[in-house]
Chain A
């Protein structure tokens, strides 16, 4: 069964600190992995997209890593800001001809002043 699991479920950090979110997946055949940021009641916004051959990709203060062998990914946020408070969703795409996305349940991050 295709699954995407994220940890922790929720996280509170102080403004300016770094944090790392984890994603484990069992999706086959793997096509790509995406990290999305979703503010409450808003549509997910793409942060990074990584294919099988990519190990790391950065987008500003966000750095995603991918280990396709262990089927794990992480999202590292550097120097957190209050605006980083949101849900971060790991989404893995199964290449079944038409891309089907398997969503993780997300990590809810709260950055406090």
Chain B
């Protein structure tokens, strides 16, 4: 069965650079969620999209932005990267709001 795809799997950036993370939800899933998980911490909800519109917003810094495209894939854009942005970034998708979320493998971002 198809799962959530995230790319890249690993990314190394320097401080003040920008990064773009991509998420391809499971086919026919219209809702996408982004989470940030720091070392030894639980995942923190960043933002979610439903039918290409932002549906909920969590602890996403102003330096980050995200969008969902017509094919339902989503991109998380991160600018002015800081050392503290080093984390695992998970994307999850669900077939509709309020249902089971299926997580992708994550993108490990390292900011040096």
Residues of A within 8 A of B (CB): 31, 34, 36, 41-46, 49, 89, 95-96, 98-101, 103-106
Contact = CB atoms under 8 A, between A and B. Distances in A.
Contact of B45 (A46, A49, A100): A100
Q: Is the interface of A mostly helix, strand, loop or mixed?
A: strand
Interface size range of chain B in the complex: 20 to 34
Interface stretch (B14-22, B62-70, B71-79, B102-110): B102-110
B42 A100 contact: no
Contacts of B104: 43
A46 B101 CA distance: 8
Interface in B1-55: 4, 41-45, 48, 50, 55
Given A46-B102, A49-B100, A98 B48 contact: yes
A41 B45 contact: no
Nearest to B48: A98
Nearest to A34: B100
A106 B45 contact: no
Given A41-B108, A44-B43, A100 B58 contact: yes
Given A41-B108, A106-B42, A101 B88 contact: no
Contacts of B92: 43
Contacts of A104: 42
Interface string B78-96: 0000000000101010000
25 contacts: A34-B100, A36-B103, A41-B88, A41-B108, A42-B105, A42-B106, A43-B4, A43-B90, A43-B103, A43-B104, A43-B106, A44-B43, A44-B103, A46-B102, A95-B98, A96-B56, A98-B50, A98-B56, A99-B98, A99-B101, A100-B45, A100-B58, A103-B42, A103-B44, A105-B41
A41 B92 CA distance: 15
